[in-house]
Structure 1
Amino acid sequence: MIQQRAVQTRRRVLRAGAAEFARRGYAATTLTHITRTAGVTMGAITFHFASKRALADAVCAQGRRITREAVAPGGGGAGRGLQAVVDITHALVVLLGEDDLVRAASRLGGEAGDRNGWYGAWLPHLHAACVRADREGALRAGVDPATVTVLAVGLVAAAETAALQAACAQAGTTTAAQLTRAWRALLGAVAPPDGVPGLSP
């Protein structure tokens, strides 16, 4: 019973830390903010995490794990190349919009200048899907996998900014809907003129 309570408290602190780090960033987040959000004592936090840095590291590790699972083959990264590229970006947008652990991992990685952190959890899968798309003949002549990777990363970065600022560029439109419209525009430039059967933005 005590061990189960400790696991639940740790999970609550981790989620509260993620919410605060996603909202405020590392520097502006205090352990006091986290205690209030989690509804626990300072002692409960320091029992599980030796420092704010240790908590932030745990939040980032969880956010990266969730992201990797969502985009790896078998998750959002399965399927034919170009469709997998689109699906990976959509999976990332959903995670950024719905999961504080992912949002916090993204924000903390960006603040620390560690683009291999959260980006490293999904970028290799995205690039591999772009290479698959090229091998499958799903890219227009003259369009290479690196270019499609850069375009897709740009779309994710825009969605990341919108999620972190909790506001969409167009009032009343979700980030996911904006991403779908962006893919509709871009697919005409990167896919062959006759299209790719079954490809959905």
Structure 2
Amino acid sequence: MQDRAAKTCRRLIRSAAEVFDRNGFTGSSVGRICAVAQVSHGAMHFHFRSKQALGEAVESCAAEILRGVTGPVPDRHPAPLQLLVDVSHALARRLSDDPVLRAGFGLARDPAWSNGECLWQHWREWVRGLLDLAGREDQLAPGVDLDDAALAITAVMAGLEELRRRPVRPSEQTVTPFWRLVLPQLAAEGIRDRLAPEGGPPSGDERRSRDERGSDAPGASEGAPRRPRRGCGVG
């Protein structure tokens, strides 16, 4: 019974994310979410008291996925700018195929939504932290403004996330031309030739998370919420 309840809860979160991603929070009805999840209204209210509570669960799950993609800002790293490039590609890939992550970012910019989580703020702060580390390691070009650079990188990812909602979605490699343009201005002269704007290949964990993602899962197993919430077994 507990396993069935957990699966139902995960299915509700994923279904809500798909509906939020297509229609926004205001344009999404509980009835439509239940229909996509193939559960009754009673089953939905057993897990979530309202659409707001379901939105909070989607956002919390998306935030955990994002933290799984970025990891913490390291204290030291031999190539912080390359790490930034690689993670931006990983995030673009996850935005492409993970409706929970897309819905979390979408809720963060939805004027009808108000909650404590803000995925864009987390991403911007993480980018700012990597740039600060690159500066301490003397890997930034002279005169780079960290706040301006973090804002530009955040804006590009926000634009990419929006474009992915269009009928013709750009390739995830859209990030590459941005880095080709920006890295010569961002990186110190001595390391520019060592940076790969196309990023590295997906990590083993990322490939496994794609393979393991099931139709009833709220998101990829990598970075999935682990803290129990409302008896659902998801964060």
TM-score bin (small chain): 0.7 to 0.9
Tell me if structure 2 keeps the 8 A contact 1:16–1:38. yes
- Deviation of 1:144 after TM superposition, in Å, equals 2.7
- Deviation of 1:165 after TM superposition, in Å, equals 3.2
Q: What do the CA deviations read for 1:69-98 (whole angstroms, capped 9, x no partner)?
A: 1101489xx762211221232222122111
- Deviation of 1:198 after TM superposition, in Å, equals 3.1
The residue type equivalent to 1:187 in the other structure is L
Q: How many residues align?
A: 193
CA distance in 2 between counterparts of 1:79 and 1:104 reads 34
Q: Secondary structure at the match of 1:140?
A: coil
- Deviation of 1:167 after TM superposition, in Å, equals 3.3
Counterpart residue number, 1:190: 186
Tell me if structure 1 keeps the 8 A contact 2:89–2:173. no
- Deviation of 1:108 after TM superposition, in Å, equals 1.0
CA distance in 2 between counterparts of 1:16 and 1:166 reads 20
CA distance in 2 between counterparts of 1:54 and 1:20 reads 15
Counterpart residue number, 1:162: 163
Q: Secondary structure at the match of 1:47?
A: helix
Q: Could you list the runs of 4 or more consecutive aligned residues of structure 1 that deviate by over 6 angstroms after TM superposition?
A: none
Matches within 5 A, 1:47-58: 47-58=46-57
Tell me if structure 2 keeps the 8 A contact 1:19–1:100. yes
CA distance in 1 between counterparts of 2:136 and 2:101 reads 31
Question: What CA RMSD, in Å, does the superposition of the two structures yield over aligned residues?
Answer: 2.2
Matches within 5 A, 1:34-49: 34-49=33-48
CA distance in 2 between counterparts of 1:113 and 1:178 reads 30
Pick closer, same or farther for the CA change 1:198–1:74 going to 2, 3 Å. same
- Deviation of 1:163 after TM superposition, in Å, equals 2.1
Greater shift in the superposed pair: 41-50 or 137-146: 137-146
Tell me if structure 2 keeps the 8 A contact 1:103–1:164. no
CA distance in 2 between counterparts of 1:151 and 1:110 reads 17
Q: Secondary structure at the match of 2:164?
A: helix
Q: Secondary structure at the match of 2:196?
A: coil
Greater shift in the superposed pair: 188-197 or 12-21: 188-197
Q: Secondary structure at the match of 1:50?
A: coil
**Structure 2 portions without partners, runs of 5+:** 198-235
Q: Structure 1 length normalisation: TM-score?
A: 0.87
**Structure 1 portions without partners, runs of 5+:** none
Q: Secondary structure at the match of 1:146?
A: helix
Counterpart residue number, 2:32: 33
Instruction: Kindly indicate whether residue 129 of structure 2 is the aligned counterpart of residue 133 of structure 1.
Output: no
Instruction: Kindly indicate whether residue 146 of structure 2 is the aligned counterpart of residue 145 of structure 1.
Output: yes
Pick closer, same or farther for the CA change 1:8–1:113 going to 2, 3 Å. closer
Identity of aligned residues (%): 30
- The one of the two structures with greater contact order (alpha-carbon pairs below 8 A, sep at least 6) is 2
Instruction: Kindly indicate whether residue 174 of structure 2 is the aligned counterpart of residue 178 of structure 1.
Output: yes
The residue type equivalent to 1:153 in the other structure is T
Structure with the higher fraction of residues in helix conformation? 1
Pick closer, same or farther for the CA change 1:115–1:150 going to 2, 3 Å. farther
The residue type equivalent to 1:9 in the other structure is T
- Deviation of 1:135 after TM superposition, in Å, equals 1.4
Q: Secondary structure at the match of 1:143?
A: coil
- Deviation of 1:192 after TM superposition, in Å, equals 2.5
The residue type equivalent to 2:146 in the other structure is P
Pick closer, same or farther for the CA change 1:163–1:49 going to 2, 3 Å. same
